[in-house]
Amino acid sequence: MITAARSLAGSHPRLRWAVVGDGDRTAELKGLVAEAGVADRVRFVGLRSDVPDLLGSADLYVNCSDWEGMPLSTIEAMAAGLPVVATRTEGASRLLDEGCGLLVPVGDADALAASVARLAEDPALREAMGAAGATRARARFSHERMAWELVRVLGGG
């Protein structure tokens, strides 16, 4: 993501990135952001309890994990109506289809940057993918459906 932010800085000067969460590597990541010269574009917001507000203020969602089982944060972003750019992990590949998000190879910063740029430049595409993602998230990944599927798997339904 840091490499993508750096590569898009010149062509997309209004693009801003927010990193939500905290962990052992936060200081390292902040250093890499500073080294890349994008500290004015990348904001570390830490652990937050107002994730719906954060999602509501975003234009798109990026998940560039190396591995994800079933990324709840991506489901939340989809349910919030955001188009998604994600690395092609097992979980993201199951969540997203071409109508609601763009998948890129793990570790491919150029593909990540190109996908973010594509969505940044096309508000109609962002809106269409966001709407498709919200529909998909509610239909396939709602709490009610997940509870029903659990009951079914356990033999109660």
Q: Which residue has the higher pLDDT, 147 or 18?
A: 18
Q: Which residue has the higher pLDDT, 148 or 3?
A: 3
Question: Which pLDDT belongs to residue 147?
Answer: 73
d(CA 79, CA 71): 13
77 in Cβ contact with 93 (< 8 Å): no
d(CA 110, CA 115): 9
Residue reference for tokens 């000067």? 13
In 3-155, the DSSP E strands lie at: 17-20, 42-46, 61-63, 84-87, 101-104
For the chain, domains (ranges, CATH) are: 2-153 (3.40.50.2000)
31-54 tens-digit pLDDT: 999 999 999 999 999 999 999 999
Question: Which pLDDT belongs to residue 157?
Answer: 58
Question: Which pLDDT belongs to residue 140?
Answer: 84
Indicate whether this model's pTM tops 0.85.
Answer: yes
Distances (CA, A) of 121 to 33, 74, 113, 127: 24, 21, 12, 12
